[in-house]
Amino acid sequence: MRGLRKLATAVVAAFAVAPISVLAQEPAAVKIGVITFLSGPAASPFGVPARNAAELVTELLNAGKAPAPYATKGFGGAQIQTVIIDEAGSSTTQVTEYRNLVQRHNVDVVIGYVSSGNCIAVAPVAEELKKLTNFFDCGTPRIFEDASYKYVFRTSPTATMDSVGAALYVKDAKPKMKSIAGLNQNYAWGQDSWGDFEASMKQLLPAVEVKTSQMPKLFAGQYNAEISTLLGAKADVIHSSFYDGDLEALLLQAAPRGLFKKSTGILTAGETAMWKLAAQIPDGTVLGARGPFGPYAPKSELNTWYDKEFRDRYQVPPTYPSYQMTQAILGVKLAWEKAQAANGGKRPSTEQVAAALENLTFEGPGGTVKMAIGKGHQAIMETVYGMSKVVGGKMTVTNIKRYPAEKVNPPEGVKSADWIKGGFKN
Amino acid sequence: MEQILTVIVDGIIYSAWLFVAAIGLTLIYGVMKIVNLTHGSFYALGAYAAASFTGAWIARGYPPMLSYVVLLASAVIITLVFAPLIERGILRFMYAKDEVVILLITYALFLILEDVIKLIWGVDPYFIAEPYALLGSFEFGEMTYPTYNLILVGIAVISGAGLTLLLRGTRVGKLLRTVIHDPEVSRAMGINVDRYYLVTFTFGSMLAAVGGAFTAPTVSVVPGIGVEIIVLSFAVIVIGGMGSLPGAALGAVIVGLVRSAAIHYAPAVELFVIYFVMALVLAFRPRGLFSLAEPRKI
Amino acid sequence: MKGDRTLLILGIVLLALVLAGPVLPQWAMFLATIAIAKGLVALGLLLQLRAGLVSFGQALYYCIGAYTAGTLGRYFGISDMLLQMICGAAVAAFIAFILGFLLARYRGIFYGLLSLALSMILYGLLVKSEALGSTDGINILPSTVFGVRPDQASVRYVVLVAGCAVAFLATLLVNRYLTTPLGQLAAAIKDNEIRVEYMGASVREAIHVKYVIAAALSGIGGALAATTVGHIDPDMAYWTTSGEFLFITILAGTGSVVAPFLGAAIFGIIHTVAYDLSPNTWQMTLGIALLLVIVFLPEGLWSLFNRRKAA
C-alpha cells in the first residue's frame, strides 16, 4: 500500500512540474501546438508535408524572411516555438493529447488536424479550454454548420467545394455525358465526397444516370474487383476522392486494364499522386488539388517565394497539405499582429486574436483566403480543376478552369447539403 | 453469365492473395500454438524490401524479367535477417508462458517493428510498377486482366501444394506433424523441438514476406500495410480451421468469392462481409471448417 | 480477508483522488477519469480471463455503452450522467445476454475471434450509418448530474467523482460476485471443464453470466468515456481498441479486482509520455515498455504488490 502511494505521488509530482518561461528582454515566445499525422498511412500524403511546411515557415518567419505583409519577425516580434504531436490514434487519444498540449505545454495556439473525426471531437474542447484552435485541413462541413464557436477556426475550405467544383468542371468539359460511377473510400470523407458529387450532378445534369458506387474499405489496397465492376458499368465519368497510397494503388492496378482510358476519371485529390505516377495516368484525366494549390496556385510573389523555399529545403514541390498548413500559420500571424496593433503594441489576448481572425481576408501562397462563412470562422477559396497531359514524359495540366469561391461554397448560414439540393442558390 | 465469370475470376485473384498472406500464420499456429501478430510486420517488411531491392535493380538497368526473382529473394533475405533474431532473441524464452501473454509479446514486437520499418524506410510510399506492367494483360470475356495476377495465383498454388507435399511426403514433414500433435511427447522421443520452432517461425514469416513482396508491385507500399493483413489472415484461417492447410485454402476461396460477389451486387456490405462470414461459419462449425481432431484431456 | 483488504486499498485511492481533485490539474483529472473508464472494461476482461476466456472484441460493449449514452443525450434529451451509465450497462447487458447463447459455446482462440468478428460487424454498421455520423462520430452534449449541469470550471471534477463512485460500486459488486460459487467456478473452468460438469455445475451458464457481467461493466466504461471525452465514433468498436483493453488487463495481471485500474492508469501514462517524448517513434516506445513489463513482471504489475503481502 505504501508502495502504491509512493508511486502515485511520484507520478503526479513529475507531471505537475509546469514549464517555467524565462523572462527576457524580448517578448516571450509564442508557442504553437502542431498536430498532424506522423505515423501510419496518412503520414506521407498529409502529415509529413504539413509538418515540413510548419517547420519551414516558422523558421522563415522567425528570421523575418517572408515577403510582405508577413515580413515582421515571428508573430509581431515574438519568436515562434512549435510543439509537434502525432495525430495518430483514436479520437479519445487526440482529445487527451489536445488537453495535454493546452494544459501541460501551455501552448498559445493550436494548429492542426487532418482527420474530420478529430476536428469534430476537439472543437468543443477548444471552446471549453478557451484556446485559439485553427483546423488546417479536415474536410467536413459539419463543424461550423452544426455549431458556432468563438475560439475555433478553419482557414481552409471544406470538402464540399471539391465535389461541387468537380461537378461543374465535368459539366463544362463533357456536357453530353450520360452516366457517372463512383469509387470512394467507405468512411465519412469518401461518403460525403460521393454524396455531394452525386447531388451536384443531379442538379446540373438531371438526366445523368448513376451506374454504380463502389465503397471499398479505407486503405484496402486491392481494387481488382472494384475495377472489374467499374469496367463493366461503362460509365462516362468515374469520380474518386482517393488519395496517396490508395490512389497510387488504384492507378497502378487500373493502368494495365485501361479503366481511365475507357471512362474519364475525375480525381478530386489527384494532386497527391500526379507527379510520381505520371506514367499511369492517361491524358484527359481530371485532377484536383482540393483548391488553388500546387500546380493550380495563382502566380504571386508569395507563391513564388514559397515554392522556391520549399523545393530548396525538401527537394520536392509543396503539395496541398503544405499549402494549407502555411496559410493556417500566416492567417493566425496576420490576426495576431492586427490584434497587437489594436492593443497598443502589447501582446494580444486569445480573445483579441480570435476577434481579429474573424471575417479576415488574407493572402496565402494559394491565393485569397476569405473567412466568410461559419460566422467568420470558416474560410472559402476558389477551386481549380484541370486535365492531365503528359508532355515529354512529364506531367502537366491543361484545360484549367477556375471557379470563384462564391460559386463552389455555400453562403453564410446555409448547410452544404441543403445548398446543393436547393440548386446552389446564393 | 458474363458477370458471374467476372465475379469468379475476381474472387479467385483475391483468394490467392489472401491465401498467400494467411498460410504462414496457420503454419505457425499449427506448430507452435502461438497467435503471431508479427505476421503483419513480416508482410510489410517483405513489401518494403521488395520495393527497395527491385526498385534498385531496375534503376540500375538489370534485366527486368529477373525482377521476379529479386522480389522473391528480397522476401527471403529480409526474413532471414529479422525472424531468427526475434525467435531466438525473445520468443524462445516465452514459450512456457500463457498463450495470451505470448500474443501480447508478439503485439509489442509488432509495434516495435512498425517503427523500425519507419526508421529504415521513412513514411513516403514506394512503388515499383515494372514487374506489374511487364507481363502485359490478357482478355477474358470482355474484361482485361493484368497477367501479373496469374503469378499471384501461381504462387498460392505452389506454396499450398509445396507445403502439403512437405508435410506429407518428407521426413521433415512427418516430424513436423508429430510436433504439431504433441510437443512434449516429441521432445521425449528425441526430436529437437526448439529447432523446429525456429525453422517454422522463420518459414512461416517468410511466407508472409513473400506475400508482401509479390503484392508490392500492385500497390503503393505505405506505413501500416501490415495492420489489416493480420485481421484478414486470422479471419481466413479461423474459417478454414486453425492449423489446417486445406482449411486455409478453402477459407481464402470462400472469403474471396463472397467479397467479390458483394462488390458486384451489393457494394454497401463489402465493409464487413468477411466478419459476417466468419461469424456464420463459426456459428455452425465452432472450430472452423477443417479442424484438427483433438482429444479432450480429462 | 484478502478481498476486503484490496477493496480497502481501492477505496482509499479513490477517496484520495476525490479529495485531491480540486487541486489536481485538469489534464490529470481527465486522464484519471479515462483510466477509470478503461479500467472498468478491463475488469470485465479480467472476469473472463480468470475462466480462461480471452475476448478480442470487448470493445463491442464499450462502444455500445458509449453510443447509448450519446444517443440518449442527443435524441432523447436524457443528459443525466448516471442515468446514461446505467442505460449503457443495461443495453450492453441485454445484447450480451442474447449473444451469450452463441458465444458460451466457444473456447480459446475461437471465442476470441468470434468476439472480434461481432465487434467488427458493429464497426461496419456504424461506419455505414450516416445518421450517426459515420467515421466522424458525434459530439455528446454536456451531461448533468441530478438535474444540475456543472459549469466549465468544475465539470472535470464532477465527472471524476461520479466515475470514482461508480467504479467503486462496480468493483465492490464484482468482488462479492467472485466470492459466490458461480464466481469461484472461473478458476475451475480454466483448469478442467469436464470435472466441473461432473461436479454438477453448468459451465455454459457460468460463462454466460460472466459474459453478461463483463458486458455491463464495459457498457458503463463506455458511457463514462463518452461523457468525459465528449465524442463518440465507430473507432470505439475497432479491434485495436479491444487490443488496448486486453493489453491493460494483461499488463495489470489478474491477481485482484483492483489491478485493472492500476493497469489502465499506468498504460495511460506510458501512452501519453510516449507521444510527448518521441512523437516520431511512440509506437516503438510503447512496444518496448510493454515488452519490458511482460518480461520482468509476467504476472502483471499487480504481482509487485502481491509479493510484498505474501511475505
DSSP state of A1: -
Instruction: Report the residue from C233, C268, C269 with minimal CB separation from A117.
Output: C233
Asked if B242's CB is within 8 angstroms of C109's CB, the reply is yes
Selected residues 219-248 of chain C with any CB under 8 Å from a CB in chain A: 225, 229-231, 233, 235-236, 238, 240-241
Closest CA to A259 of C151, B143, B275: B143
Residue B289 resides in a domain: no
**CB pairs A-B closer than 8 Å:** 130
Q: Which residue has the higher pLDDT, A107 or B167?
A: A107
pLDDT tens profile B229-268: 888 888 888 888 877 788 889 989 998 899 888 888 887 7
C-alpha cell at C37: 473508464
Q: CA–CA distance from B212 to each of B124, B147, B203, C51 (Å)? A: 17, 18, 14, 38
- Looking at chain C, which subunits does it touch, using at least 3 CB pairs closer than 8 Å as the criterion? A, B
* Predicted confidence (pLDDT) at residue B41 exceeds the cutoff of 90: yes
* Predicted confidence (pLDDT) at residue B223 exceeds the cutoff of 70: yes
Q: CA–CA distance from C161 to each of C16, C32, C121, C218 (Å)? A: 11, 10, 34, 19
CA–CA distance, A3 with C13 (Å, rounded to integer): 12
Q: What type of residue is C95?
A: I
C-alpha cell at A44: 506521407
DSSP state of B219: S
Residue B176 resides in a domain: yes
User: Which element (helix H / strand E) includes C232?
Assistant: strand C231-232
**CA distance to partner chain B, nearest, from residue C178 (Å):** 22
Domains of chain A, CATH where assigned = 25-158+298-380 (3.40.50.2300), 160-289+382-421 (3.40.50.2300)
Q: Note the pLDDT of residue C94.
A: 95
Cis peptide before A69 (omega within 30 of 0): yes
Residue B271 at interface with chain C, using a CB cutoff of 8 Å: yes
* Number of domains making up chain B: 1
Residue A148 at interface with chain C, using a CB cutoff of 8 Å: no
* Predicted confidence (pLDDT) at residue A406 exceeds the cutoff of 60: yes
CA–CA distance, A374 with A378 (Å, rounded to integer): 5
CA–CA distance, A318 with A292 (Å, rounded to integer): 12
Q: What type of residue is A4?
A: L
| H-type alpha helices, A207-299 | 224-233, 244-254, 259-262, 271-274
CA–CA distance, C126 with C236 (Å, rounded to integer): 10
DSSP 3-state assignment of B220? coil
Residue B293 resides in a domain: no
Q: Note the pLDDT of residue A134.
A: 95
CATH code, B110: 1.10.3470
**CA distance to partner chain A, nearest, from residue C32 (Å):** 11
Sorted by where each begins, the domain ranges of chain C are: 2-240
Give B288's contacts in chain C (Cβ within 8 Å). 110
pLDDT tens profile A273-290: 888 788 889 999 999 999
- Looking at chain A, which subunits does it touch, using at least 3 CB pairs closer than 8 Å as the criterion? B, C
CA–CA distance, A333 with A336 (Å, rounded to integer): 5
| H-type alpha helices, A66-159 | 91-103, 116-129, 142-146
Q: Note the pLDDT of residue A237.
A: 94
Q: CA–CA distance from A239 to each of A128, A167, C305 (Å)? A: 39, 9, 60
Q: For an interface test with A, give the residue of B119, B127, B276 to mutate (most A CBs within 10 A).
A: B127
Residue B290 resides in a domain: no
Selected residues 180-239 of chain B with any CB under 8 Å from a CB in chain A: 215, 217-220, 222-225, 228
Local mean pLDDT, 10-residue blocks, chain C (311 residues): 68 82 82 92 92 90 94 83 90 94 84 88 87 84 78 80 86 86 84 86 89 94 91 90 87 83 88 82 85 78 61 40
Residue B100 at interface with chain C, using a CB cutoff of 8 Å: yes
Give A92's contacts in chain C (Cβ within 8 Å). 34, 225, 229, 231, 236
Residue C167 at interface with chain B, using a CB cutoff of 8 Å: no
pLDDT tens profile B178-210: 888 788 888 888 888 888 889 999 999 999 999
Domain hosting residue B139, numbered range = 2-284
Closest CA to C287 of B76, A112, B119: B119
For C235, phi then psi, to 5°, come to -50, -25
Selected residues 90-119 of chain B with any CB under 8 Å from a CB in chain A: 114-115, 118
Residue B292 resides in a domain: no
Specify whether the backbone of B157 is left (phi greater than 0), alpha (psi in -120 to 50) or beta: alpha
Q: For an interface test with A, give the residue of B219, B225, B233 to mutate (most A CBs within 10 A).
A: B219
Asked if C136's CB is within 8 angstroms of A116's CB, the reply is yes
**CA distance to partner chain A, nearest, from residue C170 (Å):** 21
CA–CA distance, B143 with B254 (Å, rounded to integer): 23
Residue B128 resides in a domain: yes
Closest CA to B292 of C109, C100, C48: C109
Residue A44 at interface with chain C, using a CB cutoff of 8 Å: no
Residue B245 resides in a domain: yes
Q: Note the pLDDT of residue A20.
A: 39
Q: Note the pLDDT of residue A122.
A: 93
> Which residues partner with A36 through β-bridges?
A86
Q: CA–CA distance from B4 to each of A42, B280, C294 (Å)? A: 36, 23, 51
A367-373 vs A361-364, strand pairing mode: antiparallel
Chain Cα centroid distance, residue B250:
14
* Predicted confidence (pLDDT) at residue B294 exceeds the cutoff of 70: no
- This model of the complex carries an ipTM of 0.83
Q: Note the pLDDT of residue A5.
A: 53
Residue B286 at interface with chain C, using a CB cutoff of 8 Å: yes
Mean pLDDT of chain B: 85
Q: Note the pLDDT of residue A163.
A: 92
pLDDT tens profile A103-142: 888 999 999 999 988 999 999 999 989 999 999 998 888 8
* Predicted confidence (pLDDT) at residue A243 exceeds the cutoff of 90: no
> What value does the mean pLDDT take over residues A318-341?
93
CA–CA distance, C135 with C131 (Å, rounded to integer): 11
Side-chain half-sphere of A331: how many Cα atoms within 13 Å?
A: 38
Q: What type of residue is C14?
A: L
CA–CA distance, A153 with A380 (Å, rounded to integer): 12
CA–CA distance, B242 with B239 (Å, rounded to integer): 8
Q: Note the pLDDT of residue C3.
A: 57
Instruction: Report the residue from C49, C113, C247 with minimal CB separation from B238.
Output: C113
CA–CA distance, B110 with A262 (Å, rounded to integer): 42
Give A100's contacts in chain C (Cβ within 8 Å). 27, 272, 275-276
* Predicted confidence (pLDDT) at residue A240 exceeds the cutoff of 50: yes
Residue B276 at interface with chain C, using a CB cutoff of 8 Å: yes
Cell numbers 509543396: residue: A318
Residue B98 resides in a domain: yes
Residue B216, judged by CB atoms within 10 A of its CB (0-12, 13-18, 19+), counts as buried
Specify whether the backbone of A291 is left (phi greater than 0), alpha (psi in -120 to 50) or beta: left
CA–CA distance, C168 with B298 (Å, rounded to integer): 39
CA–CA distance, C209 with C189 (Å, rounded to integer): 13
CA–CA distance, C247 with C241 (Å, rounded to integer): 10
C237 touches C142 (CB < 8 A)? no
Residue B272 at interface with chain C, using a CB cutoff of 8 Å: yes
Mean pLDDT of chain A: 88
Nearest CA in chain C to B113: C284
* Predicted confidence (pLDDT) at residue A236 exceeds the cutoff of 70: yes
For A152, phi then psi, to 5°, come to -105, 135
- Looking at chain B, which subunits does it touch, using at least 3 CB pairs closer than 8 Å as the criterion? A, C
A261-265, A284-288, A396-400, C148-152: which range is least confident on average? C148-152
